[in-house]
Amino acid sequence: MKENDIRFARLLLIVNGAVPLVLLGWDALHHQLGANPVKFALLTTGMMGLTFLLLTLLVTPLRKISGWNWIIFSRRTLGLYAFFYTCLHFLIFFGLDRSLNVSSTLTEMVKRKYLIIGSTGLLVMVPLAVTSTNAMIKRLGGKRWRALHRLAYVAAIAGVIHYYLQAKADVRQPLGFAAVLTVLLGYRVLEYWRQRKPGPVAAADRGLRTLFGHSRDPTGNQSAKLSAESRN
């Protein structure tokens, strides 16, 4: 895929990622958020945060299965949108539902364990967002960066559990998210064991990955995009 096409795709992704926020703001401005606007805003931002997080985890399997290596560019944008909507989800809860009252917020979190689980998911996303730049990838090194960004799995699991536990009666949507996450994590487990399997096929596969996915730059550091981003 040409560089100009990737730039256009990136711009398209950025614009589309902002659409839910714009629609939410428009509906809020015109008082169209239903009988409980805060609850609606919480549900919308929470679902968008979890959706973008699962889309982030989808990139690697889709790239490996389809051979579309160019889609790796989308993971950073999707991850940052996941962090943004999750932060907004918490800020709406803290600012509108709890009226910026720290004591009330902490009391509510103690009473409702799913709030602690959701907050844990948000906290582990903070270092992921902070280290999402190419400069941080080079600074940490590919191996440490990949290890750190496996926290995305923890964040996704926490998000799904948080969504499921707060659902009152209809748990179909949380279970749908749980099913998608199970598939995405299951793929990674199978891929991990496939790479560990001894034999000439696995050895050849590792050799190709070393040749094309772990090239080193003149300073001896791993290539930022191919060796770090493409394998998480």
pLDDT tens, residue order, the chain (232 aa): 778 888 899 999 999 999 999 999 999 999 999 999 999 999 999 999 999 999 999 999 999 999 999 899 899 999 999 999 999 999 999 999 999 999 999 999 999 999 999 999 999 999 999 999 999 999 999 899 999 999 999 999 999 999 999 997 889 999 999 999 999 999 999 998 988 876 544 554 555 455 444 443 433 444 444 445 555 6
Tallying the residues shown for the chain, one arrives at: 232
CA distance 218 to 8: 31
Q: How many helices (H) and strands (E) does the chain have?
A: 10, 0
* Confidence (pTM): 0.84
d(CA 87, CA 102): 16
Comparing CA positions, the residue from 110, 130, 117, 55 lying closest to residue 90 is 117
Q: Distances in Å between the alpha carbon of 206 and those of 90, 179, 212?
A: 42, 30, 10
- Which segments of 93-232 does DSSP mark as H helices, in order? 102-111, 113-130, 134-140, 142-148, 151-166, 172-196, 200-213
- For helices 113-130 and 74-92, the axis angle rounded to 10 degrees is 140
